[in-house]
């Protein structure tokens, strides 16, 4: 059984959210939101993803709208500040959007920048937030990673320093700083290979690319590593699914990357997720008067939704 396509399309809203600052090359975040019996769901694979990769995001949206959240085991989850690859002078302005954050994740290894830029940005963050982690999005070679980690000072962990699992394992053997895997889990045919290869100390998981809240909880059960639930730069609807998942994990030792709503100028609800003392609590999100995409982009997204729906339905392992 799968939620009928007509029901998805009948409530679908294509939104377009301007960002305060460029993040992973994006200045406007687009998404389709739809409503089911359990609430709102989000479909927002990044535009360059092919339909197969994008269809996991649709399964996640359908799960949210038709099944709703899993049962929480905690009332609130800590979130980190997220600092894009901005010049060091702009760090304070970004961190002002994350009042009370005790952990910051800083983007590093951005194309076109140098290690000095990363060192300066991380130093500027460290002056304002006590615990710092960095995310290289696979941008370093093994040697570059070892050099950079030596230059960046004390870090909670380094997320995806290199592209491959083998490279992650080599960096992990060469440095004392913990290594976190992100793309090596969410883009892998086998998310458990990271564990078999001893390539990471921490697993970063994202609800939409991994196909939903329950799939993330099932995966977390199989991964014997501390878990960090992170956003996929989702609207408040997707953030709601991330917070619900983090709140349902049996164990949660690290701040989660679910504060990215602060990077948007506007969100899709009158009541977006705004951390109190760096904590977010799971709750239902009601979409109200979201900024809409223009008609051409609406058509593009609804066509994509239809194609991905066919893939989800064919795969036969739908959440609903």
Ligand X SMILES: O=C(O)CCC(=O)C1=CC=C[C@@H](O)[C@@H]1C(=O)O
How many chain residues bind ligand X (CB under 6 A)?
Answer: 13
* Closer of 77 and 158 to Mg ion (Cβ): 158
Q: Does 135 count as an annotated binding residue?
A: yes
Nearer to ligand X, 8 or 202 (CB): 202
Q: Is 118 in the site for Mg ion (CB under 5 A)?
A: no
Q: Which of 42, 182, 234, 267 binds Mg ion (CB under 5 A)?
A: 182
Told to check if 257 binds ligand X by CB under 6 A, we report yes
Identity of the residue, 233 or 268, whose beta carbon is nearer to Mg ion in the bound complex: 233
- Is there a binding annotation on residue 6? no
Q: Which of 107, 111, 131, 187 is catalytic?
A: 107
Q: From the list Mg ion, ligand X, none, which binds 82 (C-beta under 5 to 8 Å, kind-based)?
A: ligand X
User: Binding to ligand X (CB under 6 A): which residues in 266-305?
Assistant: none
Interaction partner, residue 232 (Mg ion, ligand X, none; CB < 5-8 Å by kind): ligand X
Residues that bind Mg ion (rule: CB under 5 A) add up to a total of 3
Is residue 238 at the binding interface for ligand X, with CB under 6 A as the rule? Answer: no
Please tell me whether residue 263 binds ligand X under the rule CB under 6 A.
no
* Annotation marks residue 105 as catalytic: no
318 binds, among ligand X, Mg ion, none (CB under 5 to 8 A by kind): none
Of residues 106-145, which lie at the interface with ligand X (CB under 6 A)?
135, 137
> For the residues of the chain, what is the DSSP string, one character each?
----HHHHHHH-EEEEEEEEEEETTEEEEEEEEEEETTEEEEE---TTS-HHHHHHHHHHHHHHHHT-PPPPSSS-EEB-EEE-S--GGGHHHHHTTSTT-SEEEEE---TT--HHHHHHHHHHHHTT-SEEEEE-TT-S-HHHHHHHHHHH-S-S-EE--SSSHHHHHHHHHH-SS-EEESHHHHT-SSTTHHHHTT--SEEEEETTTTT-HHHHHHHHHH--S-EEEE--S--HHHHHHHHHHHHH-S---S-BB--GGGGBSS-SSSS----BTTEE--------SPPBPPHHHHHHHHHHHHHHHHHHHHH-----
Please state the residue numbers annotated as binding site for Mg(2+): 135, 159, 182
Binding stretches for ligand X (CB under 6 A): 24, 80, 82, 105, 135, 137, 182, 230-233, 257, 260
Residues designated catalytic: 107, 206
């Amino acid at each position: 059984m799968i939620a009928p396509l007509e029901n998805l399309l009948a409530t679908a809203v294509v939104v377009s959210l301007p960002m305060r600052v460029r993040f992973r090359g994006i200045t406007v975040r687009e998404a389709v939101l739809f409503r089911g019996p359990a609430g709102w769901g989000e479909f927002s694979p990044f535009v360059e993803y092919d339909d197969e990769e994008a269809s996991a995001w649709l399964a996640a949206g359908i799960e949210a709208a038709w099944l709703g959240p899993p049962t929480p085991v905690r009332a609130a989850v800590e979130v980190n500040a997220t600092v894009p690859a901005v010049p060091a002078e702009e760090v304070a302005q970004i961190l002002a959007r994350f009042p009370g954050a005790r952990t910051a994740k800083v983007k590093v290894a951005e194309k076109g920048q140098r290690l000095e830029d990363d060192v300066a940005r991380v130093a500027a963050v460290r002056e304002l937030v006590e615990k710092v982690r960095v995310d290289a999005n696979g941008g370093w070679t093994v040697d570059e990673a070892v050099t950079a980690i030596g230059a960046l000072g004390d870090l909670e962990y380094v997320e995806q320093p290199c592209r491959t699992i083998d490279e992650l394992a080599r960096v992990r053997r060469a440095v004392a700083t913990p290594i976190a895997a992100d793309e090596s889990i969410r883009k892998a045919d086998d998310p458990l290979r990271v564990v078999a290869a001893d390539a990471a100390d921490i697993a970063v998981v994202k609800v939409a690319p991994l196909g939903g809240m329950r799939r993330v909880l099932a995966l977390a059960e199989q991964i014997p590593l501390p878990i960090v639930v992170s956003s996929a730069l989702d609207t408040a609807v997707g953030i709601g699914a991330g917070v619900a998942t983090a709140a349902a994990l049996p164990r949660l030792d690290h701040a989660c990357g679910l504060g990215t709503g602060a990077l948007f100028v506007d969100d899709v609800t009158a009541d977006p997720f705004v951390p109190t003392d760096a904590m977010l609590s799971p709750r239902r999100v009601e979409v109200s008067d979201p900024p809409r995409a223009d008609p051409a982009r609406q058509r593009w997204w609804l066509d994509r939704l239809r194609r991905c729906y066919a893939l989800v339905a064919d795969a036969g392992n739908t959440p609903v």
